[in-house]
Amino acid sequence: MAKMNFGGVIEEVMTREEFPLEKAREVLKNETIAIIGYGVQGPGQACNLRDNGFNVIVGQRQGKTFEKAVADGWVPGETLFSIEEAAKRGTIVCLLLSDAAQMQLWDTIKPHLTAGKTLYFSHGFAITWSDRTGVVPPKDIDVIMVAPKGSGTSLRTMFLEGRGLNSSYAVYQDASGHALEKVLAFGIGIGSGYLFETTFQREATSDLTGERGSLMGAIQGLLLAQYEVLRENGHTPSEAFNETVEELTQSLMPLFAQRGMDWMYANCSTTAQRGALDWMGPFHDAIKPVVERLYVSVKTGEEAQKSIDSNSKVGYREGLEKELAALRDSEMWRTAETVRKLRPENN
């Protein structure tokens, strides 16, 4: 483990230099990795593991997603099976189904989690709120997690570019005495940039907070609020969108992703510097109480229960599609379609 200074706090992380791919292959050489679910995380992790030389099979129900797996090179009856058959064949059973599907199919998968196997997750939801989900693993298996800090699509894209998406890892249950080396090997195998330790509870709590906060919920709320104020004050859709979204995503985000917000502040106009420094405080003070309420809602299980309840409702999928369609059809994101078409690379 390498000791790294994160803003004055020392953390231990695992890098590819300390745990090379060759070592990961050696640790997992006798394992059959069964990827259960080929939806969001499944394709990226399965394909990266396969390309890195691990023994991988996929379990997926028949339908469009099954056909996608076939298109990606998984062979029915050889490396592509039903969910139950893959769980039976796998020695490391990777539950990469949605949280709702994990609950629905747990009774199908659990009988195949026999002594000595390993159960793998990429999200701590089902285990953290097991009293609500019913996902309680047998005591005689290892239970581990690697949680990439991004989408499965990003994991695959960055892998193909020779880069890596950072991941957290956790051991929930170590029946074999080798769970730690397994989880680190798995993290390297899927192409992680570096690995940092967490727990199932911390990962689930931070993940739900992030999704509802700065990663999706809060950013959409902030962007929409600014766009609306500009439009209500006579600015055109193009101007409002460019000043709210396009400049942020195309110009500024790459800069502070590479160098940090401090560097970006230091390399913009003095007018921008002054205004940003003056207004970051009021925004922080207005937003932090909302984030605190959000965190409490996540930590107490209220958000998990909302998710469980909504996913179990008849007609939930249809209602969700309507909500997503309303978002897609809003003026701001319809403007985005036109702006993207006008980017130089699309002309």
pLDDT of 263-282, one tens digit each? 988 888 999 999 999 999 99
Give the rounded percent of residues in the chain with a pLDDT score beyond 70. 100
Average pLDDT over residues 40-64: 96
Q: Are 153 and 191 in contact (CB under 8 A)?
A: no
What pTM does this model have?
A: 0.88
Average pLDDT over residues 163-182: 96
Query: What pLDDT shows up at residue 5?
Result: 87
Q: What is the mean pLDDT of the chain?
A: 94
Which residues belong to the active site?
A: 123
For 170, phi then psi, to 5°, come to -155, 150
Instruction: State the CB neighbour count (10 A cutoff) for residue 256.
Output: 14
Q: Is 155 exposed, middle or buried (0-12, 13-18, 19+ CB in 10 A)?
A: buried
Query: What pLDDT shows up at residue 193?
Result: 87
Q: Please write the tens of the pLDDT for every residue from 213-230.
A: 999 999 999 999 999 999
Give the rounded percent of residues in the chain with a pLDDT score beyond 90. 86
Residues pairing with 9 in the sheet: 6
Q: Is 73 exposed, middle or buried (0-12, 13-18, 19+ CB in 10 A)?
A: exposed
Average pLDDT over residues 27-40: 96
Residue 174 scores a pLDDT above 90: yes
CA distance 13 to 78: 37
CA distance 54 to 26: 10
Average pLDDT over residues 305-327: 90
Residue 347 scores a pLDDT above 80: no
Kindly state the tokens that stand for 59: 């379990």
**Conformation bin of residue 314: beta by default, left when phi > 0, alpha when psi is -120 to 50:** beta
Residues pairing with 14 in the sheet: 195
User: DSSP assignment of 208-251, as one string?
Assistant: HHHHHTTTTHHHHHHHHHHHHHHHHTT--HHHHHIIIIIHIIII
Cβ neighbours of residue 256 under 8 Å, at least 6 residues apart? Answer: 263, 264
Residue 290 scores a pLDDT above 80: yes
